[in-house]
Amino acid sequence: MRRDADMLLLQGSFLDWLRREAADQAKDVPREPARFLTWFEQLENNGPGQHDALFSWLEHQADLEQMRWYLRQEAAGEAGFDDLTAYTQVKLPERVKLELARNYWDEMGRGNAKGMHGPMLHRLVEALDLHPNIETTMSESLALANAMTAMATRRDYSWHAVGALGVIELTAPARSAAVAAGLKRLGVDGKARLYFELHATLDVKHSAAWNTEAIAPAVDDDPSRAVAIAEGALIRLSCGARCFERYRRELW
Ligand SMILES: [Fe+2]
Ligand SMILES: [Fe+2]
């Protein structure tokens, strides 16, 4: 327990550092729900790391070894959207909690083991024989997983987590579609590709629902939450941007 306390202090200073980076841009976001959503949704186009050249390269050029290296990094740094959502929903207001519950239920394959998203990713990891582990994972990828876990598990960062998870739903479709197309080009079979094929389309719906049912009512109830949600989204995207930059350095 003493070690836990040390680690929580370290985690807190890590989050402080990430927040300082996001704070400048987040402090002036609109506090009115509809205008805030407009700001939030434009992160798809111009947020940190968005439409990084890595993804068209994965789609059109990477060979199977390079694709496997990329996926091993991503799998090792995948904290699990389902568990992050479960941690985040603790004590949230009713309407927001219900949206996180609906999203979680989709993550659970709506009660069908074959449709669960976590195991779906695991099937790709098995099919490509990836063996992800911490030792061979870039620090940027571990930092992304740690930032997500920190925001989801700390009650003082609940609204940051709502923003960070929401921006994943917003930005995952384009990345997933590129990776799915790259896997198809490389001859990986449809069953193994399913995780990326699914998120290329399903997350468009998840994002729309998250924005109208979680983010908008949260900001409507308390406009100051807009800043925390924005910081969380920017933290998530900046951590992602650092991953893509590192992956390009390693792969190109
Ligand atoms: Fe998912
Ligand atoms: Fe989703």
Bridge-partner residues for 52, per DSSP? none
CA of 9 to the centre of ligand 2 (A): 31
Quickly list DSSP for 15-34. Answer: HHHHHHHHHHHHTTS--SHH
Q: Helix or strand or coil: residue 116? A: strand
CA of 110 to the centre of ligand 2 (A): 13
Q: How confident is the model at residue 224, as a pLDDT?
A: 97
pTM, two decimal places? 0.97
Which chain residues have CB less than 5 Å from ligand 2, an ion?
Answer: 203, 206
- Tell me the CA–centroid distance for residue 28 and ligand 1, in Å: 31
Instruction: Report pLDDT for 77.
Output: 84
Ligand nearest to the CA of 78: 1
Average pLDDT of the segment spanning 170-175: 98
Share of the chain above pLDDT 90, in %: 98
Residue 88 DSSP SS3: helix
How far apart are the CA of 92 and the centre of ligand 2, in A?
Answer: 19
Closest ligand to 208 CA?
2
Average pLDDT score over residue span 194-208: 97
Q: Which of 178, 180, 182, 176 is nearest to 193 (CA)?
A: 180
pLDDT band at 141 (very low <50, low <70, confident <90, very high): very high
Provide, for the chain, the percentages of residues in helix, strand and coil under a 3-state DSSP scheme, each rounded to the nearest 5. Answer: 80, 0, 15
Per-residue exposure over 139-152, b if at least 16 CB sit within 10 Å of its own CB, e if not:
ebbebbbbbbbbbb
Answer yes or no: is pLDDT of 166 > 90.
yes
pLDDT for res 248: 98
Q: What is the mean pLDDT of residues 86-105?
A: 98
Cα gap 182→189, rounded to integer Å: 12
pLDDT of res. 227: 98
Q: What is the mean pLDDT of the chain?
A: 97
Percent of the chain with pLDDT over 70: 100
Distance 170 CA to ligand 1 centre (A): 12
